[in-house]
Structure 1
Amino acid sequence: MGRRLAVPTLPYTDLKTAIGRVIDGALLIFLIFSALSITVAQAALLLALVAWALRLLLAEGFRQLRLPLLLPMAGFFLASVLATLTAVDPYLSGRELRNIFQPALFYLVVNHVMEEERATTLTRVLIAVGALVSGYGMWQAVTKGVDFRVHGTLSIYMTFAGVLMLIDTLALGQALFTTLSRRTLWLVPALLLLTAALLMTHTRGAWLGLAAGVSLIVWLRKKRWLLTLPLAALAIFLLVPHAVQARIGSVFDPQDVTARERLYMWGSGLMIIRDHPWTGVGMEGLKRVYRDYKHPMAYQERTSHLHNNVLQVAVERGLIGLAVWLWLWAAYVRHAWRIYGSLGPQEGGSRALVVGSLAGVTGFHVTGFFEYTFGDSEVIMLVYFLMALPFLLKTPAWGLPTPQGQSGT
């Protein structure tokens, strides 16, 4: 009989440690590539989720899971399934259910990071990457002209703008709520690069989102500073190229072509909701029905979205889906605000994370009045990361929930 080969095995604790390092590395890769490549970012996220599931199985740690916002999260998924069952094209709608792994990022960060220092490090890695791609965006503006809508390393300028807006609010939260030192002074030029590149995307919705996020951060830091924001906005307006000034001015122009087109789309969306009120037309169903509801003055024959989060969710998932979706965001704000209120002035690092989260989500929703940001994978995955930041902190307002309370709203 042949000799048996000895197969080396890892001790149980070493295996858990190794899996934890895989999760750490995959999360880091996800954040680095979130502003570089959606393919690599999603692959890294899937790897992190698989490794996390394996670690939970090995440790039998499901009872210790922290599951904030579970009820609205699960409710929205069920509403999406219901919309798929009644969709105008169930196959197309069902394909979109594959994106269920994206909100799992929220629970991965809440349960795996769990420390302010680690969360701050990940956040600053994201800010540094954002500053680098912003530099590339500014190079595009210099070489291709100020009329060019920079898109950085991404394929679409609107997506690039949405990503920069989220990172910009994170950076401002870090700069205003933590003590600047030699190690963190780089946040100032990073902020300048991020804001400059965002301006050069010529994306008005993201500008308004940034303005809302910045206003919230400044209000929470020192309310009197709000008085300086109009002066800062005026200074920026005077410094930017004429093409950007014209784009800013078009925000208030009722005759703007793209603004009129959005109004036509929104009217069509309301008519679709009238005819499909409860469960909608299903995900991707708008492509099938839009021509039947198209405004006669609209120039776009087909569209996959209505440039508005609320209308798009209602059209695709009906009023049932919209109600649960709004519940999710209301529950997030309620919990995050309570967590912020439980933090003292000396907890600058924790406050920076919570404020950056609240400001980023606020900017996301303001931008979502004019774009379908909820359907933009690069943007929404970063939003789930931001949403997790308040909940990973061990505070009296959250702490470690009991099994009976961990699925609360």
Structure 2
Amino acid sequence: MTLERKQLAIMAALAAVVFVSIFATQTLLWLALLVFLARLVSRRARFPRTPLDGPILAFCLWTLLSASFSVNPALSLESASKLVLFLLFYLTIDTLASESARERVLTAALLGGLALVSLTILQYFLLGFDTLRLRPRGLLGHYMSASGLTMGVVVLAAARLALAREWPRLHPKDGRLLAGLAVAVAVLSATQAAGIPSLRLSPLMRHGIGAETFFVIGLALTGGALAVARGRWPEPSTATLLAALALPMGCLALVLSQTRNAWLGAVAGLATVAVVRAPRTLWLLAAAVVAVLAFRPATIMNRLTLEDDSSRDRYYMWQAGIDMIEDKPVFGQGPGMILLVYPSYRWPEAPNPRAPHLHDNALQIAAERGLPCLVFWLWWMAAAMGDAWREARRGAAAGAPFSASAACEHAWPALAALGVLVAVLAAGLFEYNFGDSEVLMFVLLTASFPYALHRQRALLAGDPA
């Protein structure tokens, strides 16, 4: 197997497991980087150049400067080590610079997203993850990570369906793929419900190997196999079929998550997809909102309040964040310092004595790293959204769903990138999702799609940049 195919397989595995395991995702990222480095050294690849290089470099450098001026530079530098995840953006551009690679990796991503929403739905109905203190989280460490990624799955699936050329059809191999996923999810849920202990292969092992580990490994291997499979399968209809399942199941999982910022982000992302593809379909989104207000389901209506402790705490922590910015406007408090310094800025009316972060992307970045770093982040977001918009409009022709042209269908990754970026920006008004490693890696993965499309055109034109 060539280095290029190895990198493709690893990236497809990463795209599948980003929804279920941060450890597996970061392990695969390092493996893919090693393969990419080998290709760079052997001059079989060139590092991609994009319009986002400037804001990314400025954001990273200012973060390191902020860490150096922190009250605890060692702790801040450790927190700033997350900057290495930005390499995923460039790695994905290089890997997905062909239509075949792009479709197969995104098929793996939709499979992983379907796994996440299936697990969260079963956890809610069968495993007791149905209260605010115990919300469904799949295999992730926190329900906020799960709801943020579920939001991304919904937007990704909607973009795929919006620019699909034909109705999904079930290939025999598609059936086997879905059956395998269903069995794996059922077995995993059953072992969790039964409380079956992990398997300890050696007395020296601190932690055993449980069903979760086997599930993640199986999903990674399946994603990699999808990318390097011989023949025409998986076909484009495979991704469409997975999207057709992931969209309604993802919407249900979002409702069950009881996470308001993810609801807001999903609505914003879906509205963006509708505006680009067919603005007249916005009435469907409006109809869904009206239906919610008419039927008033308790799961949703109980969360539509500003009188709970969570809402009050956000208000007072935002006030504390403003005070932090006024105190240190240039370099901020330092990456990872909010938890440490919050008691000094906490307003006495705040319900909670401590806050690990400020539940707002812009406020968190400004308070941690200073106002210049906020400017660089906004520059990055605006440039990424602008480029995604242009790529999406390049191919998104008018017409009825499931009758798009080939050029229109090929633009769906750019539409997905635009929708996800808008969703993350909207949800980030009430949650620091840019600091969530799981969500950040998914954002970097999807944000690269427009540049992968551009790189493909450049390579076809004979320009290796």
TM-score (norm 1): 0.88
Query: 2:168 and 2:270 mapped to 1: Cα distance?
Result: 22
Read off the aligned partner of 1:100 and give its amino acid letter: L
Q: Distance in 1 between matches of 2:146 and 2:310?
A: 19
Structure 1 portions without partners, runs of 5+: 1-16
Contact in 2 for aligned 1:146/1:241 (Cα 8 Å): no
Aligned residue in 1 for 2:197: none
Give 1:37-56 correspondences, 5 Å limit: 37-56=21-40
Conserved in 1, the CA contact under 8 Å of 2:276 and 2:396? Answer: no
Distance of aligned partners of 1:284 and 1:31 in 2 relative to their CA distance in 1, 3 Å threshold: same
Contact persistence 2:19–2:438 (CA under 8 A): yes
Q: Give 1:244's aligned amino acid.
A: I
Aligned to 1:79: 62
Q: Of residues 392, 399, 411 in structure 2, which corresponds to 1:351?
A: 411
Q: Which of 219, 224, 227 is matched with 2:283 structurally?
A: 227
Using the TM superposition, give the Cα deviation of residue 181 of structure 1 relative to its aligned residue in structure 2, in angstroms: 3.0
How many residues align? The count is 384
Q: CA deviation at 1:196?
A: 0.6
Aligned pair in 2 of structure 1 residues 238, 48: CA closer, same or farther (>3 Å)? farther
| Matching residue within 344, 347, 353 for 1:301 | 353
Q: Equivalents in 1 of 2:253, 2:64: separation in Å? A: 39
Where 1:200 maps in the other structure, the secondary structure is helix
1:86-165 matched pairs, under 5 angstroms: 86-143=69-126, 144=128, 146-147=130-131, 149-165=135-151
**Is this contact kept in 2: 1:212–1:362, CA < 8 A?**
yes
Q: Helix, strand or coil: the match of 1:154?
A: coil
The residue that corresponds to 1:386 in the other structure is 446
The structural deviation recorded for 1:145 is: 6.4
- Paired with 2:423 and 2:346, the residues of 1 have a C-alpha distance of 29
Q: Residue type of the partner of 1:114?
A: A
- Checking the alignment, whether the CA contact within 8 Å between 1:159 and 1:376 is kept in structure 2 is yes
Identity, in percent, stands at 30
Report the equivalent of 1:245.
301
Could you tell me which of 311, 317, 332 is aligned with 2:369? 317
Find the aligned partners of 1:36 and 1:61 in 2 and give their Cα distance.
30
**For the residues of structure 2 that align with 1:311 and 1:401, how far apart are their CA atoms?**
43
1:327 to partner: Cα distance:
1.0
Structure-1 separation of matches of 2:160 and 2:263? 20
How far off is 1:78 after superposition?
0.7
Describe the shift of the 1:344–1:264 C-alpha distance in structure 2 as closer, same or farther (beyond 3 A).
Answer: closer
**Aligned: 1:211 with 2:267:** yes
The farther-off stretch of 128-137 and 306-315 is 128-137
* CA distance in 1 between partners of 2:164 and 2:106 (Å): 13
Change (3 A) 1:238 1:21: farther
Query: After superposition, what is the alpha-carbon deviation per residue over 1:315-360, rounded to whole angstroms, capped at 9, x for unaligned?
Result: 1110111111111111112222222333363312222111111000
The one of 161, 168, 172 equivalent to 1:181 is 168
Distance 1:289 1:394, change over 3 A: closer
Q: Does 2:385 correspond to 1:333?
A: yes
Q: Distance in 1 between matches of 2:50 and 2:33?
A: 15
TM-score by length of 2: 0.78
Q: Could you tell me how far apart the structure 1 residues matched to 2:419 and 2:380 are?
A: 17
Task: Give 1:150 shift.
Answer: 1.2
Does structure 2 conserve the Cα–Cα contact (< 8 Å) formed by 1:66 and 1:111? no
Q: Distance in 1 between matches of 2:349 and 2:35?
A: 52
CA distance in 1, matches of 2:296, 2:114: 19
Structure 2: distance between partners of 1:342 and 1:399: 15
Matching residue's letter, 1:199 = V
d(CA) in 2 for partners of 1:189 and 1:240? 25
Q: Residue deviations 1:32-83, cap 9 Å, x none? A: 2111111011000111012101111111644x63334111111111101110
Matches within 5 A, 1:22-37: 22-37=6-21
Over 3 Å counting, the alpha-carbon distance change for 1:44 and 1:239 in structure 2 is: farther
Unaligned runs of 5+ in 2: 170-236, 398-404
Tell me how far apart the structure 1 counterparts of residues 11 and 102 of structure 2 sit (CA, whole Å): 11
Does residue 264 (structure 1) correspond to residue 316 (structure 2)? The answer is: yes
Q: Report the AA paired with residue 166 of structure 1.
A: G
Equivalent position SS for 1:382: helix
Residues 1:405 and 1:301: Cα distance change in structure 2 (over 3 Å): farther
Task: Output the amino acid matched with 1:352.
Answer: W
1:58 to 42, 45, 68: 42
Q: Give yes or no for contact 1:360–1:383 (8 Å, CA) kept in 2.
A: yes
